[in-house]
Amino acid sequence: MGLSVIAGPASAGKVALLLERYLAVLQTQPVLIVPNRSDVERVERDLLTRSGALLGGSIGTFDDVFERIVGDTRPLLGDAERALLVRRIVGGAALNGLGRSARFAGFVDSLAATFAELESGLLEPAALEGDLARLFAAYRAELDRLGRWDRDGLRRHAVERLQSEFDAWRGEPVFAYGFEDLTGAEWELLRALAGRAAVTVSLPYEAARTAFESLRPTMDDLAALADGRIEVLPPRFHEFAHPAIAHVERHLFDDVPGEPVETGGAVRFFEGAGTRATLELVGQEVLSLVRSGTAPEQIAIVCPALERWRAPLESAFGALGVPLSIAMRPRLPQTPFGRALLGLLRFVWLGGGRRELYGFLRTPYSGVPRPKADFLEGRLRGRAINAHDRVEAETLALHGTPFPIVKELREAPSLLDGLRTVASLMVRHAYGLQHPPTTDAARLDLRA
């Protein structure tokens, strides 16, 4: 039992060695922790290539391990349910110093993220002060009343169970790779597992290298827990990388870059005045590669955050005529159907105002002619009517009858029934029943 560390620079063979050791103890039902769920199938294919068959063991993320330890004691709260719960708590709390901030839409999202950080750090409400302590305590109490976990609360409970109950883990070896930082819950999980089983961790790290300086605290903590069981692999990137790229890997951020090497076109640097100008330079380089015979699907563009860079990427590359495919699923609010639906739900369920209701009514999903919606909103805007109750009352006074889709949602026997009915009506209003919706926009709506 105990923790051991495999360290080394990029492409030194750390993960390959970790997988070989995982396969060597397959009969003991080992657990392999990978960075993301998308990595599970890739690692399974890699292991099958090495062994031909996997007759034991399991592969998952840290969350899979947390859920395995906790079991099915409580249902897990979804992100949307969690947001509604936090909004309800904020609406019913007496806020002194945070009252003005709570009026803004982003307050609930920021507060939910703060709760997640507190849970990940294994902090209790008693360790806090003021409004934050009261809100956090109310949130925890409401979860207990509902008999639900949120994701971070489940992690905390898993750590507590692993630390206090002998049967929470039965000695299966644990292997982990792909992380460069650990939350408080993940760190305590590894610490507790190391007391119950053999734990092997792979970490990208090389001593005295500026590029790895940010990982030094993590490595120091793991080294203290490993008690000398550290295996450092030598660099091997130069064996299969272009000399110029290998040079960058070895000397990144160094004060003394070493002997210069010929790039041979393997590494190029672009500098532009702002995001759009920089992306246009990248787009022009991609365009030249395509024109010289490189297949577009063989060109990858790596961004810090796809959601934040998606719009400028599409704009810059579209202007150059460069085909682009974003490797991510759109979020619901990024689709026209999703924006319309969420606006309606905010008005009916959360007491939204004129913007939410008429943002929905002006879309083709409402079944209301656009000129009529514009006329009604113009009358309300002219009278400066924004509050939920007055918006609804004045709209009824002008329109004469309630809008059927709003009425269906409000009078549904349950929230889920109302959501099903409204989603069906929205698609029917937008596309009718006379011909199948086959456009790209329609397919996106049906997927949403």
pLDDT band at 28 (very low <50, low <70, confident <90, very high): very high
Mean pLDDT of the chain: 86
Rounded CA-CA distance 46/17 in Å is 12
With 80 as the cut, is the pLDDT of residue 94 above it? no
CATH architecture of 2-70+157-235: 3-Layer(aba) Sandwich (3.40)
Please name every residue paired with 60 in a beta bridge, in sequence order, or none if there are none: 33
Question: Going by C-beta distance under 8 Å and a sequence separation of 6 or more, which residues neighbour residue 181?
Answer: 215, 218
pLDDT at position 286: 92
Question: Would you tell me how many other CB atoms lie within 10 Å of the CB of residue 360?
Answer: 27
With 70 as the cut, is the pLDDT of residue 102 above it? no
Q: Which stretch, 29-43, 172-186, 295-309, 390-404, has highest mean pLDDT? A: 29-43
User: Residue 117 corresponds to which tokens in the numbers above?
Assistant: 């950080």
Q: Residue 183's closest CA among 127, 117, 124?
A: 117
User: Residue 443 corresponds to which tokens in the numbers above?
Assistant: 């397919």
Q: Residue 271's closest CA among 279, 283, 263, 261?
A: 279
Better pLDDT: 60 or 373: 60
Domain ranges of the chain: 2-70+157-235, 79-148, 275-320, 333-447
Query: 317 with 283: CB under 8 angstroms?
Result: yes
Half-sphere exposure of residue 97: CA atoms within 13 angstroms, side-chain side: 7
With 60 as the cut, is the pLDDT of residue 100 above it? no
Q: Which stretch, 18-22, 347-351, 373-377, has highest mean pLDDT? A: 18-22
What percentage of residues in the chain have a pLDDT greater than 90? 24
Please name every residue paired with 7 in a beta bridge, in sequence order, or none if there are none: 203, 232
pLDDT band at 66 (very low <50, low <70, confident <90, very high): very high
- Using DSSP's 3-state secondary structure scheme, residue 2 falls into strand
CA angle 140, 419, 394 (to 5 degrees): 100
